Amino acid sequence: MSDRFLLRIAFAGKPSLLLERDMAEEMLQYAVERLPYEAGGLIAGHRAGDGTQCASRFIALESAFLSETRYTARASLAVRAVFATEQRGECMIATVHSHPQGDGLPSERDIREAFGYTDLLHIIIHFAQGKAQLRFFSYQTSENGFSYLEGHPSFDDFMFDTPL
């Protein structure tokens, strides 16, 4: 049976993201299967009247190249995914990619390349001490350059064992 337990990720001063735990595990599983390379995709869903972002599907998108330090979705796949999502009456609400190495914070390039998509949230999957974990960000641009706001899940034990 599917566990439809919902995660609520809170961003200070911004609408929350709602995500099913099953979907979080699906993303982590996908990223683990593609180690040691970076992998990712998009999250489709809808925005509720109060601005809450409700995730409904993880769409894995093959990278344009194999790299342990960089992920860029193949453009043709990304375009197709956006069209298919709009046809279902949904919208894109977040990007997802993994950081096989490092701490799961967005790189300067991550933020720079997301420029112009300020309504999207960004999920980074990272691996530490045998655990795969999701981190949630909203990217911001300012006169000082790039910055990000981290969102926090509604409970503390937000960790998943990796089958490594």
| Least distance CB 21 / Zn ion (angstroms) | 23
Neighbours of 163 (CB within 10 A): 9
**156 closest CA partner among 2, 7, 18, 29:** 7
Question: Minimal CB distance to Zn ion: which residue?
Answer: 110
Residue 47, C-beta contacts closer than 8 angstroms, at least 6 positions apart? 15, 53, 54, 91, 93
Least CB distance from residue 126 to Zn ion, whole Å? 9
Q: To the nearest whole angstrom, how small is the minimum distance from the Cβ of residue 102 to Zn ion? A: 8
* Exposure string over 51-77, b if 16+ CB within 10 A, otherwise e: eebbbbbbbbbebeeeeeebbebeeeb
CB of 81 to Zn ion, least distance (A): 19
Supply the minimum distance, in Å, between the C-beta of residue 96 and Zn ion: 10
Nearer to Zn ion, 107 or 141 (CB): 107
Specify the residue, 88 or 112, whose C-beta has the smaller distance to Zn ion: 112
Nearer to Zn ion, 101 or 118 (CB): 101
The residues that touch Zn ion, with contacts defined as CB under 5 A, are 107, 110
Would you say 107 or 162 has its CB closer to Zn ion? 107
Check if the beta carbon of residue 44 is closer than 8 Å to that of residue 19.
Answer: no
CB-wise, 52 or 107, nearer to Zn ion? 107
